[in-house]
Structure 1
Amino acid sequence: MLMAQLAALPWLTTRSRFAGLSRGRARLGLVLLAFLLAACLTALAVPDPGAIGAATAAETGQTDLALYEKIVAAVRGGENYYVAAADALRAGQYPLRPFFTFRMPALASALAAVPHWLPVRYLLYALVLCVAGAWADRLRGELTRPLPTVAALVLMLGSLLVFLQAELAPFHEIWAALLIALSLALRRPGRWIEAVAIGLAAMLIRETAALYVVIMAVFAWTEGERREALGWGLALGLFAAALGAHAWAVAGVTGPTDPASPGWAGLLGFGFFVKTVTLATGLYMMPIWAGALLVGLSLFGWASWSDTLGLRMFAMLAAYAAAIGVFARLDTFYWGLMTAPVFLLGLLFAPAGIRDLVRQSLDKRRITVTRVPR
């Protein structure tokens, strides 16, 4: 009932991507939406990853957050990053092989270089404001009334709620996810250098940001933006070089006797991705079934937005959903943070998408017969 009322309001200045569909395709779209919402409800069968993380911390005596804080403190004290990271991982009984178990040194080095008189939380809040401002600028031409504008502010806050927790600043996903969101908002046709540079920074902080850069390169190439595609490709090349240097440095502080990772083939499925999103946004305050349905509607909303940015966002979310569903484990649920900073804004576009699918599916072409007297 509520969604039907919202769909009747003129929220956007443009029609949704589905406004021109044929009746058959619109009905297929409604069926696919129903399947998407049903798939989201599989999150109800996923175990609580928070409980798993707490048990692991109790066994080792150290959480991931404490691990990163310890490394930053050691680097600030003048210790080599890789030596400090290896010592901290061994002390916390973490695996040290393969080299992916070590985070790249960019974030720890940057946080260690921040002067004591400048609290890190101020830098985090500044980046959050940049993300919010950039997306407000992108949405300014889409929203037509005060109500949708207020809704956008609420949804933005719900998406960024976790990122306002200053104690999570040593977490790599926090910064990388915000940089991805900023890069997406800044990218426009003919203006991509800033977006590429910020995307490179995100990759140097968290390797999984490379998935976003690959998607942006593919979109640029398929849209005929060859220079932009080469820019994203150059960023990937620089990241590959940095990753190779990182692997070489890790090999210098580890040995064959160090414990190895159990692997990243969790195969937990789409429901796990949905649950990670609910935990990474304000949806964690809702019942899991309600949060799961809103995740599905938000995904649908991004696909509905007729702007090319909506399609890029949907493709990125689908890619991370696949990666998390296949490779993530219960104790790596925080991968969902990579999708979170503006995830819920997709709900802004869902009412128009549903409205247009319903209209097109009920469309009956009328044939008028006119008698011409002879």
Structure 2
Amino acid sequence: MKDTAPLWLTAPSRFAVLKPQGARLGLALLALLLLATLLALASPGPPPTSHDPAHRADDQADVVLYETIVQGIRGGGSYYPVAAQALRGGDYPMRPFVTFRLPTLAVVQATLPPTTMLILLYALVAGVVFAWYRRLRGAFIRPAPQGIAMALLAGGLVAFVQSELASFHEIWAGLLVALSLAVRRDGKWVEAVAIGLIAMLIRETAALYVAIMAVFAFAEGNRKEAIGWAATLGVFAIVIAAHAHAVSLVVRETDPVSPGWAGLLGFGFFVKTMQLSTALAMAPLWLAAPLVGLALFGWSAWNSALALRTLATLVAYAVLLALFGRADTFYWGLMIAPTLLIGLAFAPDGVRDLIARAQDPRRKITVTRVVR
């Protein structure tokens, strides 16, 4: 079969080398993935919000909780007693210790003026946009597809520019994960490791991303980089141990226990969280859900090391949400929301290559008998 030129990408997609049988299997798996995304239609979601400023304490209870903790620290309190009082006052679970967020973000917010924090947030968003612009600059053959990719990136950042969410830990950690992915290159990983460590110190679930990067570095034989990622996990373990001890000093035996995180809400819940966390929230779920699946497929199509790391991160958090997420923890999806939709820009080449490779390359020979 004659190779076809890429549609948007500068190089053929990962599926351009498949044999017909493999390409047909790929098309079948893609169809199955798109069908599976429709499970989101039956998946539970967060309770509806009133959008009434008078009911903000109910609509954004967690945000109000974090703001209360920051105000308590500004008033001269220490983080753990202030957090315990706020959790207890809001009838939140306080055991096990992971119900307490790490103090990093709250302490920084209490130290800096609110305007400075917003400037830092928007600067971080701008840094993510610039870093991904540089990484995607050589991926497409024309400016138009790259412009589409950047628009899709913007679609994943809609929640991250809302000033009222600046106290939300996933907002900062999700941006840092996206930035770390973009700045990491072969032989240039120190900055990515440092950013990954900061993300973990803000939101513990960023450790999943760091572990994935450590595995990739080890598998590729990048020993120093693997040690760097592993070392940050070691530092994180020490911080978590100290955090658990500090929490134990302010928690009482009568404080409520978390109901647990074994939500087992499945793949459809992950898809719904992605809709709620991105610009897809403006589309009906029946349309948004297949687009989430197509975005995952697109990341599998781009033939690059960055795409593999991004896809592995997306899949890992999808599993986390499917197994352990609850309807009220849908915001975990913010950890990967910035980069997800970019995959749609890679999907056209992937679909075209699968269809082209699925065709039988053997020419049919027709024998015509001529009677004289």
Sort the TM-score into its range (normalised by shorter chain).
Answer: over 0.9
Which residue does the alignment assign to 1:130? Answer: 127
Which residue does the alignment assign to 2:112? Answer: 114
Which residue does the alignment assign to 1:98? Answer: 96
Which residue does the alignment assign to 2:344? Answer: 347
Deviations 1:21-60 (A, max 9, x none): 1111111000100110011010000123133999xx9997
Pair 1:260-2:254 in alignment: no
Which residue does the alignment assign to 1:148? Answer: 145
Structure 1 residues 58, 125: closer, same or farther in 2, change over 3 A? closer
Mapped partners of 1:208, 1:189: distance in 2? 25
The equivalent position to 1:89 in structure 2, one of 87, 90, 104, is: 87
Pair 1:183-2:180 in alignment: yes
Pair 1:282-2:298 in alignment: no
8 A contact 2:156–2:279 mirrored in 1:
yes
Which residue does the alignment assign to 2:370? Answer: none
Which residue does the alignment assign to 2:369? Answer: none
Mapped partners of 1:269, 1:61: distance in 2? 25
Deviations 1:312-332 (A, max 9, x none): 111111110111000011000
Count of residue correspondences: 359
Which residue does the alignment assign to 1:159? Answer: 156
Mapped partners of 1:314, 1:264: distance in 2? 24
For residues 1-374 of structure 1, what are the structure 2 equivalents within 5 Å? 10-51=7-48, 63-115=61-113, 118-366=115-363
Structure 1 residues 60, 130: closer, same or farther in 2, change over 3 A? closer
Structure 1 residue 150, shift from structure 2 partner: 2.3
Deviations 1:336-373 (A, max 9, x none): 111101210000100000011111101414599xxxxx
Structure 1 residues 318, 129: closer, same or farther in 2, change over 3 A? same
Structure 1 residues 298, 255: closer, same or farther in 2, change over 3 A? same
8 A contact 1:94–1:259 mirrored in 2:
yes
TM-score, normalising length from structure 2?
0.93
- Name stretches of at least 5 consecutive residues in structure 2 with no aligned partner: 366-372
Deviations 1:80-133 (A, max 9, x none): 0000100000000001100000000000011111136x4422111100000000
Mapped partners of 1:208, 1:316: distance in 2? 12
8 A contact 2:57–2:64 mirrored in 1:
no
Structure 1 residues 59, 121: closer, same or farther in 2, change over 3 A? closer
8 A contact 1:53–1:331 mirrored in 2:
no
Structure 1 residue 77, shift from structure 2 partner: 1.8
Structure 1 residues 295, 365: closer, same or farther in 2, change over 3 A? same
Matched letter for residue 157 of structure 2? L
Mapped partners of 2:40, 2:213: distance in 1? 29
8 A contact 1:60–1:93 mirrored in 2:
no
Deviations 1:253-284 (A, max 9, x none): 00211110000010000000000000000000
Mapped partners of 1:310, 1:58: distance in 2? 39
Mapped partners of 2:101, 2:325: distance in 1? 16
Structure 1 residue 289, shift from structure 2 partner: 0.9
Matched letter for residue 112 of structure 1? A
SS in 1 for 2:94: coil
8 A contact 1:43–1:272 mirrored in 2:
yes
Matched letter for residue 323 of structure 2? V
8 A contact 2:73–2:82 mirrored in 1:
yes
Mapped partners of 2:196, 2:363: distance in 1? 51
Matched letter for residue 83 of structure 1? P
Structure 1 residue runs of 4+, over 3 Å off? 57-62, 365-368
Mapped partners of 2:192, 2:345: distance in 1? 24
Structure 1 residues 8, 191: closer, same or farther in 2, change over 3 A? closer
Structure 1 residues 60, 140: closer, same or farther in 2, change over 3 A? closer
Matched letter for residue 97 of structure 1? R
Matched letter for residue 179 of structure 1? L
- Name stretches of at least 5 consecutive residues in structure 1 with no aligned partner: 1-6, 369-374
Identity of aligned residues (%): 58
SS in 1 for 2:80: helix
Mapped partners of 2:49, 2:116: distance in 1? 32
Structure 1 residue 8, shift from structure 2 partner: 8.9
Mapped partners of 2:272, 2:117: distance in 1? 29
Matched letter for residue 299 of structure 2? W
Structure 1 residue 146, shift from structure 2 partner: 2.9
Which residue does the alignment assign to 1:3? Answer: none
RMSD after superposition: 2.0
